[in-house]
């Protein structure tokens, strides 16, 4: 068996064993990267270690610690609890507002998982109180979180842009964001209007006045929370207007808030998703070994064999969605498939950005499933009187169907059009 096959098998083993035994796939990937790289790939310890994504690790730590402070000191919760008042009496607007809020939180750097974790409890409580379908609220919150996931300062966007830059697609950060935003928004609103949203909009006011907010929402925003919002806004503006390096901006903003003591340092450090960061970095290191041994080229060969220049966008979206349904999009799907983009584009004569966007969209559309973190957060936040098993089954059916829907959407948006 060639080293390419062995390295590809190692990636499969890491994913399957990690899922089956509920272990961190990244930690398994680190071990397999050294065993395969040094054992059959002829690489040195330093050669394998060089595959560790240092800059990606630094950005993830800086950004997630920044938003961990915003979460710990209640800043993001205060924003979420006030948002329902924007509906101005029409309960059909409430899910739309929560969609916009999760997009905003994710786009401003919180990322999709943090956005869902912060918004879902408030949104699901509002859905129960106002007589709004919990299923519709899950769709809007989950897809809203993913619609903003590819912001250049959000964890998923950071991972994707780093991998795309390594694949020769640097400088397209905002194109990547808007491509995924449009596709996610199209699917979310199509589902919302088709499955009951139009009826809610016509119905108007619900059992309880929409502008009535929970008691905690009436508390004034504290100075430390205003400062946190100002720093996050300043970071985003500095990245857009002054092209500040995201590593520099993230750590300067994080250090400033630490010195200002806007949040408990230990609580903020504990809130950083270290397991996710290890997952991303571990799989990225193993994929670097995969590329060195020819495993990535084998994946390209397989996809080329079943694709055409027009169908490749739908095909990679479908494959990405299937794998993402049972693993991590940002930790497994993106590090595995984005490195294949140059080879696919060259051999099929297709647009590399279209292929990359299809991987990004296809991998994340299924994440509303309760088998994924975002869907699970939304279902778990459902009101006590909600039939969670029925809700689970509905959301699961929606999420799994998105592998097919995502393939069609990407084929149309990024292939035909």
Note the pLDDT tens digit of each residue in 295-345: 878 888 888 888 888 889 999 999 888 888 766 788 888 998 999 999 999
Whether residue 408 has pLDDT greater than 90: yes
SS3 at position 278: helix
- Asked if residue 71 lies in contact with residue 65, where contact means CB atoms within 8 angstroms, the answer is no
Q: Looking at the predicted structure, is the pLDDT value of residue 210 above 60?
A: no
> Could you tell me which residues come within 8 angstroms of residue 305 by beta carbon, excluding any fewer than 6 positions away?
none
Average pLDDT of the segment spanning 50-56: 85
Of the candidate ranges 108-112, 182-186, 240-244, 397-401, the one whose mean pLDDT is the lowest: 240-244
In the predicted structure, residue 214 carries a pLDDT above the cut 50:
no
- Across the range 18-35, mean pLDDT stands at 89
The mean per-residue pLDDT over the stretch 380-386 comes to 78
Q: Per 3-state DSSP, what percentage of the chain is helix, strand, and coil (rounded to 5)? A: 80, 0, 20
Q: Residue 194 has what pLDDT?
A: 93
Structure tokens at 301: 């060969």
Q: In the predicted model, is pLDDT for residue 193 greater than 90?
A: yes
For residue 46, count other CB atoms closer than 10 A to its CB. 7
The answer on pLDDT for 211 being more than 70 is no
Cα angle for residues 201, 205, 211 (degrees, 5° grid): 110
Which residue, chain included where needed, has tokens 């905003």? 104
Provide the pLDDT confidence category of residue 213 given band limits of 50, 70 and 90: very low
Mean pLDDT of 3-15: 88
- Measured CA to CA, the distance from residue 127 to residue 302 in angstroms comes to 45
Domain extents in the chain: 3-416
Residue 383, H or E segment: none
Q: Which residue has the tokens 């949040």?
A: 263
Residue found under tokens 């950060």:
173
163: left (phi over 0), alpha (psi -120 to 50) or beta: alpha
> What average pLDDT does the structure give for the chain?
85
What does the alpha-carbon distance between residue 363 and residue 374 come to, in Å, rounded to a whole number? 13
User: What's residue 252's pLDDT?
Assistant: 92
Strand stretches in 175-332, DSSP E: none
| pLDDT of res. 215 | 43
Asked if the model's pLDDT at residue 205 lies above 60, the reply is no
When comparing pLDDT for 285 and 114, which is higher?
285
Burial 243-252 (b: 16+ CB within 10 A, else e): eeebbebbbb
* pLDDT > 80? residue 35: yes
Mean of the pLDDT values across residues 384-396?
A: 82
Confidence of residue 239 (pLDDT cuts 50, 70, 90): confident
Which of 45-49, 75-79, 214-218, 290-294 has the largest mean confidence?
Answer: 45-49
Residue 138 clears pLDDT 90, i.e. is over it? yes
**100 pLDDT higher than 60:** yes
Comparing 417 with 124, the larger pLDDT belongs to 124
């Amino acid at each position: 068996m060639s080293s390419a096959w062995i390295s590809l098998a190692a990636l499969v083993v890491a994913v399957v064993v990690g899922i089956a035994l509920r272990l961190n796939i990244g930690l398994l990937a680190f071990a397999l990267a050294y065993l395969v790289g040094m054992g059959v790939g002829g690489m040195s310890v330093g050669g394998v270690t060089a595959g560790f994504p240092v800059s990606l690790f630094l950005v993830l730590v800086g950004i997630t610690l920044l938003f961990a402070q915003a979460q710990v000191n209640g800043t993001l919760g205060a924003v979420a609890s006030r948002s329902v008042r924007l509906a101005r009496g029409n309960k059909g607007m409430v899910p739309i507002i929560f969609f916009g809020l999760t997009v905003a939180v994710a786009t401003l750097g919180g990322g999709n998982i943090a956005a869902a974790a912060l918004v879902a409890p408030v949104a699901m409580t509002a859905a129960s109180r106002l007589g709004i379908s919990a299923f519709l609220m899950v769709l809007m919150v989950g897809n809203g979180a993913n619609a903003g996931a590819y912001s250049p300062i959000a964890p998923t966007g950071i991972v994707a842009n780093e991998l795309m830059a390594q694949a020769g697609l640097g400088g397209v950060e905002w194109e990547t964001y808007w491509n995924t935003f449009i596709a996610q928004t199209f699917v979310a609103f199509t589902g919302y209007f088709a499955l009951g949203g139009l009826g809610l909009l016509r119905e108007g006011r619900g059992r309880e006045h929409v502008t009535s907010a929970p008691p905690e929402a009436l508390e004034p925003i504290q100075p430390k929370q205003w400062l946190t919002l100002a720093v996050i806004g300043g970071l985003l503006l500095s990245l857009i207007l002054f092209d500040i390096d995201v590593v520099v901006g993230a750590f300067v903003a994080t250090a400033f808030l630490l010195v200002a003591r806007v949040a408990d340092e230990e609580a903020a450090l504990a809130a950083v998703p270290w397991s996710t960061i290890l997952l991303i970095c571990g799989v990225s290191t193993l994929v670097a070994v995969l590329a060195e041994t020819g495993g990535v080229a084998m994946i390209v060969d397989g996809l080329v064999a079943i694709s055409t220049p027009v169908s490749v966008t739908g095909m990679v979206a479908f494959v990405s969605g299937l794998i993402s349904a049972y693993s991590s999009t940002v930790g497994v799907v993106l590090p595995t498939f984005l490195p294949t983009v140059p080879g696919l584009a060259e051999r099929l004569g297709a647009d590399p950005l279209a292929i990359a966007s299809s991987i990004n969209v296809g991998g994340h559309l299924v994440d509303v499933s309760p088998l994924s973190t975002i869907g699970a957060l939304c279902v778990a936040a459902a009101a006590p009187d909600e039939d969670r098993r029925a809700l689970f089954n509905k959301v699961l059916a929606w999420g799994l169907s998105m592998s097919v829907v995502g393939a069609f959407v990407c084929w149309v948006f990024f292939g035909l059009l």
